[in-house]
Amino acid sequence: MSTRMESRSTAVAVDGEIVAPKTSSRSSRDRSWRIKVSIGQVVAILLILGIWQALSGAVIPAYLISSPTAVISDTVTLLKTHTMWSDISITTQELVIGYAIGVVFGIVVGILMGSIKFLSGVFEPIIAGINGIPKIALAPLFLLWFGLGIWSKVAQASMIVFFVMYYNVYMGMLSISPMLVKLFQVMGANRRYVARKVILPSLSIPIFAGLKACVPFAMIGVIVGEFIAADRGVGYFVLQATQQFDSAGLFSGIIIMVAMVLIGMGIVTFCQNRVLFWQRLSHK
């Protein structure tokens, strides 16, 4: 009996010795893979910048593509000025407000359309038709309605964000299993419990996917509005640089736009990792 117990405990010990290196080796492989990817990304960026620097002036006129060194110098100089930070502040306000309005209305309408079959039957073709209108064609209309201030850009951004968010949420609602909802209802669950335990968890991934996708779309809406009619903002600065054949300023404005989008997506990703922590655990 004691011999059997010893052999069993030895087997457990052996299993433990086998499993631990596997877990450790897997984490080390993941860490090594991430390091290799990071190195590859850095090398790719440096290679692109090197080719750009080599082509500038020697093959392509510098006034068309500028050069990385000139763009970096111009960007640093711009960020030291109050005017650029004022432009960034205006664009940020338009981006945040337009993003928030579009997201809220997109989620609400998506849930309503996915919950009430009559509403989806009546309004889905109408929404699809409106979505088919090129958004840039609506910019003059928003300018007429809201004037030259920030609200015409907010309207443009929120219009684009709304459709992205709406379709993510609406398709998420359609993917929820009716049988699962009925099962909870048969077991005595009320609507609030079903919404909290079935609908919200099912919608969490489509919602965060939409939130992340909406950041660059909101920026597109804002910049399009600033291109058409504005006297401030990053988009206005880029337009002015283009008209003056200032390629370094143009690329500097683009870099600032990209940085703003990356910061916005980083904030959404941070919130996603906090809210959807269970998703990360399931992949470990």
Contacts of 81 (CB under 8 A, 6+ apart): none
**Are residues 144 and 101 located together in one domain of the fold?**
yes
**Does residue 83 form part of some domain?**
yes
**Are residues 15 and 88 located together in one domain of the fold?**
no
Contacts of 133 (CB under 8 A, 6+ apart): none
d(CA 180, CA 284): 27
Domain boundary (10, 32, 55) is at 55
Three-state secondary structure readout of 177-221:
CHHHHHHHHHCCCCHHHHHHHHHHHHHHHHHHHHHHHHHHHHHHH
**Does residue 70 form part of some domain?**
yes
Contact 103, 234 (CB under 8 A): no
**Are residues 32 and 88 located together in one domain of the fold?**
no
pLDDT value of residue 20:
46
Secondary element (H or E) of residue 79:
helix 68-79
**Does residue 78 form part of some domain?**
yes
Least confident range from 9-18, 111-120, 272-281: namely 9-18
**Three-state secondary structure call for residue 67:** coil
**Are residues 3 and 78 located together in one domain of the fold?**
no
**Are residues 21 and 116 located together in one domain of the fold?**
no
Model confidence over 147-171: pLDDT tens digits?
888 999 999 999 999 999 999 999 9
**Does residue 60 form part of some domain?**
no
**Does residue 61 form part of some domain?**
no
Percentage of residues in the chain with pLDDT exceeding 70? 88
Query: Of 85, 105, 202, 88, which is closest to residue 160 (Cα–Cα)?
Result: 105
**Does residue 244 form part of some domain?**
yes
Model confidence over 227-259: pLDDT tens digits?
988 889 999 999 999 999 899 999 999 999 999
**Are residues 157 and 200 located together in one domain of the fold?**
yes
The CATH number of whichever domain residue 135 belongs to comes to 1.10.3720.10
Least confident range from 31-40, 77-86, 216-225, 262-271: namely 31-40
Please provide residue 58's backbone torsions phi and psi, each rounded to the nearest 5 degrees: -75, -45
**Are residues 225 and 257 located together in one domain of the fold?**
yes
Q: Tell me which of 7 and 69 has the higher pLDDT.
A: 69
Domain range for 202 is: 66-282
Count up the domains in the chain and report the number: 2
**Are residues 115 and 48 located together in one domain of the fold?**
no
**Does residue 205 form part of some domain?**
yes
**Are residues 72 and 30 located together in one domain of the fold?**
no
**Are residues 217 and 253 located together in one domain of the fold?**
yes
**Are residues 35 and 153 located together in one domain of the fold?**
no
Cα angle value 12/16/20 (rounded, 5°): 170
Contact 177, 119 (CB under 8 A): no
**Are residues 51 and 70 located together in one domain of the fold?**
no
Domain boundary (55, 78, 96) is at 55
Percentage of residues in the chain with pLDDT exceeding 90? 56
**Does residue 96 form part of some domain?**
yes
